[in-house]
Amino acid sequence: MTSALEGLARVAFDARGRGVLDGVRVLDLSRLVAGNMLTLQLADFGADVIKVEPAAEGDTLRQWGQPHPDHPDGFDGWWQVYARNKRSLALNLRSPDAIALLRRLCATADVLVESFRPGTLEAMGLDPQQLLGENAHLIIVRLSGWGQTGPYKDYPGFGSLIEGFSGYALKGSDGDGRPVLPGIALADMVAGMTGAFAVMTALREVEVNKGRGQVIDLSLLEPMLAVMGPDVTNYAHTGVTTRPGVKIASPRGVYRCADGQWVAMSGSTDAMARKVFQAIGKAGLYEDERYRSNAARLAHDEEIDAMVQAFIGRMDLDACLAHFRGHGVTVGPVYDAAGVYRDAHVRGRGVYVAASDDLHDERAVAMHAVVPRFSETPGTLRRRAPAHAEHTRDILTDLGLSQAEIQDLHEQGHIRCR
């Protein structure tokens, strides 16, 4: 293992691992982040996720590599993490023969996930109602930017548009009014997690309630709006729009230490605000009506912020954390990826592991362990992220095709095999 991975728990992928979703088959036709996040949750807990990729180039997520001296095309961290525990099937989805194979697979599946523009699945000859007629228990997740209905349904809908549309970009502005997009695929990740919950809910309807399969219309927009707080509700009832950068509690914010490092602090309850005042040597402030309630403190937030910053600005990060934690204040460091990776709590809890095909493989990849943590039936790391088309032969063999048939389809360009 390279020195950069020293200290991480070693984990070997084990195809024999079993999770609570063992026996659930998922066909993942999605591209990029949201669909891959959704199916990662299912795969980590045992589902057989078949990643259906274009025969020519594979999932676009494969191309999101980061510069790396040992990888001319970039280190494909996105793919290594979000495609783990999945199998790769490469089909030419413009080929009627490949579509016929996919239709046969749908009859064997429990879940189908797609992220095409609305109407594309129907144009491919895979109308959801027809698929449900052939497999009454199939759950079909239709993931799109704006949803399957509405005036915007045919518009492209990448996460950046949704983060702007939802109000998130404005809420993240630093006071100058310029919207700030998040540095992560936030809307996609939120939709992916929501979609995994939706699948599990629909599976319960099929398996426990003996109901039918169904279509889940999952937009990137609505899950993002659901986590944005009550701004729209408040506007509907008061006519007031929350200004960008407005806080929900005081004292609350990020503060710069003497060594240039930053801390985040939150005094979101009266009791915690009191502890902050005590920690900065101004315990008497809490007895002042101007600082006694959260509403009062918000009205004087600039003054409070200045006092907290002046106190923190005299200490380096470690001294600051020790001081405020000693007073029971909710405070923590503001990290970049390097800070997270080195942090003692992250290491001690095993948040990241070094995963490889066997414990002696030097090509281990650092990745987050399965979340959340189950006491009795934890998720497992069964497979590394697949090479493009790695499992095409195996999957089609299980479907009943002969090796000669598979080879013929490969040579004609309907599928791709390794």
Q: Does residue 113 contact residue 195 with C-beta atoms inside 8 Å?
A: yes
Long-range contacts of 94-97 (CB under 8 A, 24+ apart): 95/413, 95/414, 96/125, 97/409, 97/412, 97/414
CATH number of 184's domain: 3.40.50.10540
Does residue 77 share a domain with residue 171? Answer: yes
Q: Could you tell me if 17 and 156 lie in one domain?
A: yes
Bridge-based pairing state of the strands 139-144 and 66-68: unpaired
Q: What is the DSSP letter of 241?
A: P
Query: Model confidence at 212, in pLDDT bands (50, 70, 90)?
Result: very high
Do 107 and 176 have their domain in common? yes
Do 85 and 28 reside in the same domain of the chain?
yes
336: domain CATH number?
3.30.1540.10
Cα distance between residue 168 and residue 224, in whole Å = 9
Residues 57, 143 share a domain: yes
Instruction: Please check whether residues 52 and 176 belong to one and the same domain.
Output: yes
Do residues 187 and 46 both lie within one domain?
yes
Do 331 and 370 belong together in one domain?
no
Tokens standing for 248? 């929900």
Q: How far apart are CA 170 and CA 99, in angstroms?
A: 43
Instruction: Give me 387's structure tokens.
Output: 């090479």
Among the listed ranges 40-44, 189-193, 239-243, 330-334, which one has the minimum average pLDDT value?
239-243
Catalytic residue among 22, 28, 188, 305: 188
Distance CA 390, CA 416 (A): 9
Residue of 81, 79, 86 whose CA lies nearest to 368: 81
d(CA 19, CA 380): 7
Tokens 């961290």 — which residue?
77
Cα torsion through 143, 147, 148, 153, rounded to 10: -120
User: CA-CA distance, 383 to 12, in Å (whole number)?
Assistant: 9
Q: Which of 1-10, 126-135, 307-316 has the lowest mean pLDDT?
A: 1-10
Helix intervals (H) in 144-185: 159-165, 168-171
69 and 155 in a single domain? The answer is yes
Task: List the domain range (segments joined by +) for residue 52.
Answer: 13-229+361-412
- Number of helices (H), then strands (E), in the chain: 18, 15
Select from 155, 152, 145 the least CA-distant residue to 35.
Answer: 145
Number of domains in the chain: 2
Q: What pLDDT does residue 3 have?
A: 67
For residues 251-276, one letter each, b for 16 or more C-beta atoms within 10 angstroms of the residue's C-beta and e for the rest, the string is bbbebebeeebebebbbeeeebbbbb
For residue 65, the model assigns a pLDDT of: 83
Domain-located, residue 241: no
Kindly tell me if the per-residue pLDDT of 416 is higher than 60: yes
Q: What is the pLDDT of residue 175?
A: 66
User: Does residue 122 contact residue 38 with C-beta atoms inside 8 Å?
Assistant: no
Residue 346 domain flag: no
For residue 242, what pLDDT band results from cuts at 50, 70 and 90? confident
pLDDT at 73 over 80: no
- 215-219 and 139-144 as β-strands: parallel, antiparallel, unpaired? parallel
SS3 332: strand
pLDDT value at residue 1 = 43
Q: What average pLDDT does the segment 285-300 reach?
A: 94
Whether residue 188 lies in the annotated active site:
yes
User: pLDDT band for position 119 (50/70/90)?
Assistant: very high
Q: Is residue 35 part of a domain?
A: yes
